[in-house]
């Protein structure tokens, strides 16, 4: 049974039983404390914990997930994958244990001919929580599962909680027995890979608090509305139904293994380690492709770093398979074809995804060359020191800073007859993980008490009236100060205000929050920020500047009209710039993030090369041409599917409901789904002045513009500057560029002549410096201060000339100078001096220590420096002492 068919049957089974089919949410998690959607429940958390009322009593979905905590296990076990699909059916206060258990068993054991999965009941085992008599009774008495195939396990295995106060409860898991060839008898309690968990039924029936550990917490009460959260692993069921050995060999993944085998010339199944590498490639290529489909681009932080790691591990695995050249051009199309039946949206995005992948692969292949050079140097130093281990901090630096994989470091070191201090490396990695966990925990804690908004959200959504009005009457539904609901706030307080209606725009979709006030009888509040802490609820962060306000008071929201006008100009300009980029560069120039506020906009877009000045000007010209055409800006509210059918762009990272707001500027030329505020006609934008274009990663660019009056101010400033330049240069404006070019050429020629004079002057000093040579520690040494020089290169040239002047006798030259008011010392030795034991590196390091800095280098020439120019004579004395010891 193909994976896509398993997915279809699951969704259809529960749809036939009254479940709303919910499309998969993005892999980019809506929870700010998570990088990715790591489990099927993540999109439903607001409904499960009661923060937001569920829009349906029961639902079914197939959710895309990414999880990288077990990334080292990928390819080594039959079931670990970074990208996986979780099938789930959900009840929000509707059905509970009986129906959840009954339906799961029915779907699993109904024959394939009758629409089920056709599992033989004798191959299935079940675990329940140790105290859940109810679940065990349902399995035994209603389903008819033999008692000896129902096992009770403890909190670690069969109890679900988030780790935070809130909903929790027991779960029941269903396992498939692969047979005695895969392990010992004894059921899932053995923990053996023979028993594969395929379905987990979570019964949220308690509210817990005071959590001291996974097994030690207080049960506050039974939940009045009990929820069911289930998850069936699509890949796990697929590998069982398809009769293969692991998830990597199912129809959606195996084609990439075959491609890796073909490219490497190594047969899958012939060598255990090669098999692991091919499975890593197949998993990571698919995972990376799905992340890029959802708008993630490679970078050095956050989600982009995880994506980059997956891509680089793929390159590394192919390298270990003997393929050192680029392979993504062949691997990604294979994965796309295997996945497109389930995700047809891959086909139109495949060009963009392929370009991102190819650019990252090319970059990493260059990184491997650079990392190898750094590692080679470390190996030379290790050998020179007589050691047998490459330092752990060197391995960590290569891994963390340069993206050079630790297994490659181990391999190269082994080839050189060395080992790596793996304990030190692992300690540094653990310290990094601990810092990351602490940061994640801090973020999670800061956002953990969203329950304070639950009661307010239960009263309904905040009505936003700001599309058509700047002032509106409302009433205070709630007040929050220091994270707690309060009945009133007074002069000077900073708090959050929840209103029934508002005209103040909450920050979203790249648009900054409105500025303005909230007023009522006897009080005035300055609005500091406007946010949506939970879906459908607007919170106004305010400071009380007059009077006192209480829950239930009337309120009037007042938007600052000048700020709103500037914000609408900037947001509409963002749409124009985006459309202009796509017109000039093509559809792959896709928005990857934006920010706009009154007078300013920036747009990040997928592209892997700088824009030429001509291209940048063309984009700006097209956008301003659209401004001058006075295009009508049309907004429509319509079903999501209809909007997409009309070509509306859904931007990556944005979450859309079933009904959306579509904004047209010039018809289909600029047609996007957008909840922001906009001008009525493009001419109201005024002027767009592109002031910057830069890189924000190997595959993303950023364009910045001033908009409206701010754009005009910038042009006025530039006009004044040009006028002043013309006056100072005494030429018309049209001749300023050529005049500046002439002056630059003259300056360059003068600098060249000066450099030649300085070189001649330095050369004239060589005989006098050589005459200062004296015997120190068995070598002929020149140790002198030469005053101030223009650069360290001048000092280096002088040192080498003096050394050469001394001839073949063992000679050491150490000269010190001040360069830009900082002391620099350079030491050079000839071959005879080095044979006598005098090496430049240690001598320069000794001198630099006296100067309050550091230094070192090769045996023949080395450099050091510091901050204490007054210690130059002592530094040269330290060199002499080093030669004498």
Note whether residue 726 is domain-resident: no
Contact 857, 824 (CB under 8 A): no
518 plus 586 within the same structural domain: no
> What Rg do the C-alpha atoms of the chain give, in angstroms?
34
Task: Among 495, 519, 552, identify where a domain stops.
Answer: 552
456 plus 409 within the same structural domain: no
- The pLDDT, as a whole number, for residue 448 is 35
Note whether residue 731 is domain-resident: no
330 plus 431 within the same structural domain: yes
284 plus 244 within the same structural domain: no
Which residues, in sequence order, are bridge partners of residue 389? 419
Note whether residue 48 is domain-resident: yes
Which residues make Cβ contacts (< 8 Å) with residue 441, sequence separation at least 6? none
Which residues make Cβ contacts (< 8 Å) with residue 775, sequence separation at least 6? 781
State both tokens at 574: 């963002």
Q: 657-693 burial, b for 16+ CB within 10 Å, e for fewer?
A: eeebbbbbbbeebbbbbbbbbbbeebebbbbbbbeeb
Distance between terminal CA atoms of the chain? Answer: 80
What is the DSSP secondary-structure string of 478-534?
A: EEEETTEEESEE-TT-EEEEEESEE-SPPSBTTBPPPPEEEEETTEEEEEEEEEEEE
Say which CATH number the domain at 190 has: 3.30.930.10
Contact 539, 500 (CB under 8 A): no
Note whether residue 557 is domain-resident: no
Instruction: Express each pLDDT in 819-873 by its tens digit.
Output: 988 999 999 999 999 999 999 999 999 999 999 888 888 899 999 999 888 899 9
Instruction: Express each pLDDT in 230-247 by its tens digit.
Output: 999 999 999 999 999 999
Q: Indicate whether 111 pLDDT > 60.
A: yes
Note whether residue 754 is domain-resident: no
Q: What is the DSSP letter of 142?
A: I
For residues 637-662, average pLDDT: 81
Instruction: Express each pLDDT in 157-180 by its tens digit.
Output: 999 887 778 889 999 999 999 999
Say which CATH number the domain at 788 has: 3.10.310.40
- The pLDDT, as a whole number, for residue 449 is 57
Using pLDDT thresholds of 50, 70 and 90, give the confidence band for residue 654: low
Please report, for residues 566, 578, 689, the alpha-carbon distance to residue 622 in angstroms, rounded to integers and kept in the order given. 21, 11, 12
H or E element in which residue 619 lies = helix 613-628
H or E element in which residue 703 lies = strand 700-707
Note whether residue 762 is domain-resident: no
Query: How far apart (Å, rounded) are the C-alpha atoms in residues 91 and 764?
Result: 91
- The pLDDT, as a whole number, for residue 35 is 85
Give burial (CB, 10 Å; 0-12/13-18/19+) of 802. buried
172 plus 121 within the same structural domain: yes
528 plus 600 within the same structural domain: no
Asked if residue 19 belongs to a known ligand binding site, the reply is no
Query: 840-850 vs 872-884: helix axis angle to the nearest 10?
Result: 140
Instruction: Express each pLDDT in 472-531 by its tens digit.
Output: 999 999 999 988 999 999 999 999 999 999 999 999 988 999 999 999 999 999 999 999
Instruction: Express each pLDDT in 674-712 by its tens digit.
Output: 999 999 999 999 999 999 999 887 678 999 999 999 999
Query: How far apart (Å, rounded) are the C-alpha atoms in residues 371 and 376?
Result: 8
Q: Indicate whether 745 pLDDT > 70.
A: yes
Note whether residue 758 is domain-resident: no
Q: Indicate whether 757 pLDDT > 90.
A: no
Task: Among 249, 279, 298, identify where a domain stops.
Answer: 249
- The pLDDT, as a whole number, for residue 309 is 86
Asked if residue 674 belongs to a known ligand binding site, the reply is yes
Which residue is associated with the tokens 């009941």?
121
Query: How far apart (Å, rounded) are the C-alpha atoms in residues 290 and 354?
Result: 12
- The pLDDT, as a whole number, for residue 515 is 96
- The pLDDT, as a whole number, for residue 704 is 96
24 plus 107 within the same structural domain: yes
% helix, strand, coil for the chain, step of 5: 45, 25, 30
428 plus 455 within the same structural domain: no
Q: Indicate whether 634 pLDDT > 60.
A: yes
State both tokens at 446: 């800061």
Which residues make Cβ contacts (< 8 Å) with residue 147, sequence separation at least 6? 140
Contact 621, 668 (CB under 8 A): no
Which residues make Cβ contacts (< 8 Å) with residue 805, sequence separation at least 6? 766, 767, 770
- The pLDDT, as a whole number, for residue 436 is 57
What is this structure's pTM? 0.71
7 plus 122 within the same structural domain: yes
Q: Indicate whether 443 pLDDT > 70.
A: no
For residues 595-605, average pLDDT: 94
- The pLDDT, as a whole number, for residue 407 is 72
Nearest to 39 by CA among 171, 220, 155, 136: 171
Domain that holds residue 568: 564-717
Q: What is the DSSP letter of 52?
A: S
Which residues, in sequence order, are bridge partners of residue 90? 59, 229
The C-alpha angle with vertex 158 and arms to 152 and 161, in degrees rounded to 5, equals: 155
671 plus 689 within the same structural domain: yes
Query: How far apart (Å, rounded) are the C-alpha atoms in residues 275 and 267?
Result: 9
Helix, strand or coil, per DSSP, at residue 476: strand
- The pLDDT, as a whole number, for residue 446 is 36
Using pLDDT thresholds of 50, 70 and 90, give the confidence band for residue 609: confident
State both tokens at 472: 């509106």
Say which CATH number the domain at 473 has: 2.40.30.130
How do beta strands 855-857 and 218-233 pair? unpaired
Contact 247, 79 (CB under 8 A): yes
Query: How far apart (Å, rounded) are the C-alpha atoms in residues 292 and 350?
Result: 10
Contact 333, 358 (CB under 8 A): no
Query: How far apart (Å, rounded) are the C-alpha atoms in residues 466 and 605?
Result: 29
Asked if residue 540 belongs to a known ligand binding site, the reply is no
Mean pLDDT check: name the lowest of 297-301, 458-462, 797-801. 297-301
H or E element in which residue 207 lies = strand 195-209
Q: What is the mean pLDDT of the chain?
A: 90
H or E element in which residue 797 lies = helix 792-805
Note whether residue 740 is domain-resident: no
Using pLDDT thresholds of 50, 70 and 90, give the confidence band for residue 587: confident
Task: Among 552, 583, 605, identify where a domain stops.
Answer: 552
Instruction: Express each pLDDT in 267-322 by its tens digit.
Output: 999 999 999 999 999 999 999 999 999 988 888 778 888 898 899 889 989 988 99
Please tell me the total count of domains within the chain. 5
Neighbours of 717 (CB within 10 A): 10
103 plus 228 within the same structural domain: yes
Please report, for residues 579, 803, 809, 833, the alpha-carbon distance to residue 837 in angstroms, rounded to integers and kept in the order given. 69, 17, 14, 7
H or E element in which residue 784 lies = strand 779-789
Instruction: Express each pLDDT in 322-371 by its tens digit.
Output: 998 999 999 999 999 999 999 999 998 898 899 889 988 988 888 777 77
Asked if residue 571 belongs to a known ligand binding site, the reply is yes
- The pLDDT, as a whole number, for residue 876 is 93
281 plus 227 within the same structural domain: no
């Amino acid at each position: 049974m193909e994976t896509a068919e398993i997915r279809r049957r699951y969704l259809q089974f529960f749809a036939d039983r009254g479940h709303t089919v919910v499309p998969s949410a993005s892999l980019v998690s809506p929870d700010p404390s998570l990088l990715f959607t790591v489990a099927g429940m993540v999109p439903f958390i607001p409904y499960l914990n009661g923060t937001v009322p569920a829009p349906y009593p029961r639902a079914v979905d197939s959710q895309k997930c990414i999880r990288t905590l077990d990334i080292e296990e990928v390819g080594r076990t039959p079931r670990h994958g970074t990208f996986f699909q979780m099938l789930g059916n959900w009840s929000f206060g509707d059905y509970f244990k009986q129906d959840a258990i009954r339906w799961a068993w029915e779907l699993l054991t109904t024959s394939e001919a009758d629409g089920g999965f056709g599992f033989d009941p004798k191959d299935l085992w079940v675990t329940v929580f140790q105290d859940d008599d109810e679940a065990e009774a349902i399995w035994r008495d209603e389903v008819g599962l033999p008692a000896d195939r129902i096992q009770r396990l403890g909190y670690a295995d069969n109890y679900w909680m988030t780790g935070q106060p809130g909903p929790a409860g027991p779960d029941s898991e269903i396992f498939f027995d692969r047979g005695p060839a895969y392990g010992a008898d004894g059921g899932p309690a053995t923990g053996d890979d023979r028993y594969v968990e395929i379905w987990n039924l979570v019964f949220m029936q308690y509210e817990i608090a005071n959590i001291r550990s996974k097994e030690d917490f207080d049960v506050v009460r039974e939940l009045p509305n009990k929820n069911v959260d289930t998850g069936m692993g699509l890949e796990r069921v697929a590998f069982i139904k398809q009769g293969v050995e692991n998830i990597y060999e199912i129809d959606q993944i195996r084609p990439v293994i075959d491609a890796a085998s073909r490219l490497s010339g190594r047969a899958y199944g012939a060598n255990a380690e090669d098999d692991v590498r091919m499975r890593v490639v197949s998993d990571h290529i698919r995972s990376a492709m799905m992340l890029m489909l959802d708008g993630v681009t490679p970078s050095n932080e956050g989600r982009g770093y995880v994506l980059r790691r997956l891509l680089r591990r793929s390159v590394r695995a192919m390298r270990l398979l003997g393929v050192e050249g680029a392979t993504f051009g062949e691997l990604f199309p294979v994965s796309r074809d295997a996945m497109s039946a389930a995700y047809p949206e891959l086909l139109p995005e495949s060009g963009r995804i392929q370009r991102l992948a190819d650019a990252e692969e090319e970059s990493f292949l260059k990184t491997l060359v650079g990392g190898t050079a750094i590692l080679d140097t470390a190996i030379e130093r290790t050998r020179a020191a007589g050691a047998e281990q490459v330092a752990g901090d060197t391995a960590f630096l290569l891994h963390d800073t340069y993206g050079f994989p630790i297994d490659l470091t181990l391999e190269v070191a082994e080839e050189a007859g060395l080992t790596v201090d793996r304990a030190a490396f692992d300690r540094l990695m653990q310290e990094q993980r601990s810092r990351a966990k602490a940061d994640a925990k801090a973020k999670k804690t800061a956002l953990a008490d969203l329950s304070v908004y639950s009661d307010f959200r239960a009263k309904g959504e905040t009505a936003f009236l700001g599309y058509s009005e700047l002032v509106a009457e409302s009433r205070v539904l709630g007040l929050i100060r220091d994270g707690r609901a309060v009945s009133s706030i007074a002069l000077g307080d900073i708090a959050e205000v929840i209103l029934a209606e508002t005209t103040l725009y909450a920050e979203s979709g790249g648009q900054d929050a409105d500025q303005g006030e909230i007023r009522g009888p006897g009080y005035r509040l300055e609005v500091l920020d406007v946010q949506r802490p939970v879906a459908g609820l607007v919170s106004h962060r305010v400071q009380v500047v007059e009077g006192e306000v209480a829950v239930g008071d009337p309120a009037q929201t007042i938007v600052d009209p000048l700020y709103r006008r500037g914000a609408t100009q900037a947001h509409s300009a963002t749409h124009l710039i985006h459309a202009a980029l796509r017109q000039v560069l093509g559809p792959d120039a896709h928005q990857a993030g934006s920010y706009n506020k009154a007078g300013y906009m920036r747009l990040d877009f997928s592209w892997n090369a700088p824009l030429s000045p001509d291209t940048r000007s063309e984009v700006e010209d097209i956008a301003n041409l659209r401004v001058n055409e006075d295009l009508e800006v049309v907004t429509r509210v319509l079903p999501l599917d209809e909007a997409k059918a009309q070509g509306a762009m859904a931007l990556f990272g944005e979450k859309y409901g079933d009904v959306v707001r579509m904004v047209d500027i010039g018809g289909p030329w600029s047609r996007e789904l957008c909840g922001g505020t906009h001008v009525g006609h493009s001419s109201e934008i005024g002027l767009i002045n592109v002031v910057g274009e830069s890189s924000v990663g190997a595959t993303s660019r950023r364009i910045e513009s001033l908009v409206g009056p701010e754009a005009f101010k910038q042009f006025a400033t530039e006009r004044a500057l040009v006028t002043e330049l013309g006056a100072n240069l005494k030429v018309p404006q049209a001749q300023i560029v050529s005049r500046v070019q002439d002056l630059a050429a003259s300056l360059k020629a003068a600098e060249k002549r000066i450099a030649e004079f300085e070189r001649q002057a330095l050369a004239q000093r060589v005989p006098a410096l050589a005459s200062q040579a004296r015997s120190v520690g068995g070598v002929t040494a020149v140790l002198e201060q030469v005053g101030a020089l223009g650069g360290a290169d001048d000092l280096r040239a002088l040192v080498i000339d003096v050394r050469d002047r001394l001839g073949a006798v063992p000679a050491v030259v150490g000269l010190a100078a001040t360069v830009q008011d900082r002391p620099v010392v350079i030491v050079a030795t000839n071959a005879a001096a080095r044979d006598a034991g005098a090496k430049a590196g240690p001598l320069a390091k000794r001198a630099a220590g006296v100067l309050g800095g550091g230094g070192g280098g090769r045996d023949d020439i080395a450099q050091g420096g510091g901050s204490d120019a007054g210690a130059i004579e002592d530094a040269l004395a330290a060199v002499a002492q080093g030669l004498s010891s």
